[in-house]
Amino acid sequence: MSFSSSDDDSQQRFALGFLFALIALVVSTVLGVVVYKRGIAHAPKAPAAAMVNAGGAAGAGVVVADVASVVVEGGVVKFYFATGKADLAAGANEALAEVVKGVLDGGKMAVVSGFHDATGDAAINEELAKKRALAVRDALKALGVAEDKVELKKPEVTQGSGSNAEARRVEVVLAP
C-alpha cells in the first residue's frame, strides 16, 4: 500500500514542525531571560520603605525623600511622612517601644507634636499635620497607652526647617 509513504512524510513533517517549535521556544526563553536580567540590573533602585534607627547609630537623622520612615534619635521618635500622606512607616511599633515602656512603667506622658512643610496651602498642611499626629496617637493607643497619657501638642512653629521631607514629621517624646 502506498499509505505508508505518505504517512512517513506526514510524520516527518510533524517531527520537523515540532522540532522547530521547540527550538523557537528555547530561543525566546533565553532571550526573555537575558532581557529581563538586563532590565533588572539597570532599573533604578527603590528607596527603603522605612528606616528604624535605635539611638544614634550611623545614619541617624537621614530622611529619604517622599517615603514614610521612622527614626529614633536621642530619645525622640521622629516619624517622617510621604507628601500628602498620613500613613505610618513600617517599624512604627518597634520605634515606639521605649515611649510605651516609659508611659506604662514610669508613669510619664507621651507628647506628640506634628510639623509640616512649606509647600502648598497652609491650612491643608496644618490639617495633614494633625492627621499625622493622630495616626501616631492611635498607634500608641494600639500599643496599650491610655488616651489620657498622650498629649497632642501643637508646636510654636509648625513648619519644619530644612528640606520638605525633613519638615513632614511627627515627633514623640516622654515628658514627666
Surface-to-core class of residue 35, CB atoms within 10 Å of its CB (0-12 exposed, 13-18 middle, 19+ buried): exposed
Handedness of CA 75, 140, 169, 157 (dihedral sign): negative
Fold of 69-175: 60s Ribosomal Protein L30; Chain: A; (3.30.1330)
The helix (H) or strand (E) run that includes residue 118 is none
Looking at residue 44, its pLDDT comes to 47
Confidence of residue 54 (pLDDT cuts 50, 70, 90): very low
Least confident of 10-24, 56-70, 132-146, 150-164: 56-70
Q: What is the pLDDT of residues 99-137, one digit of tens each?
A: 999 999 988 999 999 888 777 788 888 888 899 999 999
Q: Are 83 and 118 in contact (CB under 8 A)?
A: no
CA distance 51 to 73: 12
Long-range contacts of 49-55 (CB under 8 A, 24+ apart): 49/89, 49/90, 50/89, 50/90, 50/91, 51/89, 51/91, 52/91, 52/94, 52/95, 54/94, 54/95
Residue-wise DSSP of 149-173: GEEEE--S--BPSS-HHHHSEEEEE
Domain residue ranges in the chain: 1-43, 69-175
Query: pTM of the entire structure?
Result: 0.60
Confidence of residue 157 (pLDDT cuts 50, 70, 90): low
Please name the residue that has the C-alpha cell 500500500: 1
Looking at residue 150, its pLDDT comes to 94
Residue 116 backbone phi and psi in degrees, to 5: -145, 165
Query: Which ranges of the chain would DSSP assign to H, the alpha helix?
Result: 3-42, 92-95, 97-106, 122-142, 164-167
CA distance 133 to 64: 20
